[in-house]
Chains A and B, each alone.
Chain A
Amino acid sequence: MLHIVNKSAAERNALDSCLRVAQGGAILLIEDAVYAATKGNEAESRLRDAQSHLKIYVLAPDLEARGMQDRIMEGVTTVDYGGFVDLVTEHKNCQSWL
């Protein structure tokens, strides 16, 4: 399934809860959640662990809006809005974490 997270990992536990529960599939980070997929932030190591069983995507417009496109962590794929739609349709189901 596709998990969509939109809250900063530093402020809310949505990403951590998602990482604890998700058994496979993909995570798409959007809005304030994109910071989690950048080099040197505290959530990076947790996302790195998750990469063994989850594919991680970041919404490029949100990353760029925050000036973070220069420090995206390795192994993370950026998508545009069209890619966002593709991800949703490619997966059997999805959850938008609150």
Chain B
Amino acid sequence: MSEGAIKKFMFVNRKAPYGTIYALESLEVVLITAAFDQDVSLVFMDDGVFQLKKGQQTKGIENKNFSPTYRALDGYDIEKLYVEEEALAARGLSEEDLLVDVTVMPRAELGKLMDEMDVVLSF
């Protein structure tokens, strides 16, 4: 990364938490990226919207519950969280079910946003 140049990074999250490692890996990379003062956006689409569901309790599966960490993103100056409107609807979820403030957006709008990025990373 060349010093001083701020790039637009987008992390696209499409997997449910816990079943695979992707959600947690993405979150860790996001936190690391935050240290480089880049312009970071997070997108949650498809099953990825489940990552933000309130009330996750992981004791029974002996996994770390990393959902509270999404609430720390604000302190890391990561404030651009976008959620696919159609994905929420298809899963019987609404904005009130999510544990952080997000911008709910139709997928066509997300696509336009994606086009504007310098770097898009899939998880």
Contact = CB atoms under 8 A, between A and B. Distances in A.
Interface of A: 1, 13-14, 17, 20-25, 93-98
Interface of B: 12, 14-15, 22, 45-46, 86, 107-108, 110-112, 114-115, 117-120, 122-123
B12 A24 contact: no
Contacts of A22: 111, 114
A98 B117 contact: no
B111 A23 contact: yes
B46 A95 contact: no
A97 B10 CA distance: 13
A94 B123 CA distance: 14
Contacts, number: 43
B111 A17 contact: no
A98 B22 contact: yes
Contacts of A20: 86, 107, 111
Given A23-B108, A98-B15, 10 more contacts: A14-B14, A20-B86, A21-B114, A22-B111, A23-B111, A25-B115, A93-B115, A93-B117, A93-B118, A96-B122
Contact of A93 (B107, B111, B119): B119
Contact of B46 (A13, A23, A94): A13
A66 B114 CA distance: 32
A33 B108 CA distance: 23
B8 to A, nearest CB: 9
A14 to B, nearest CB: 8
B111 A98 contact: no
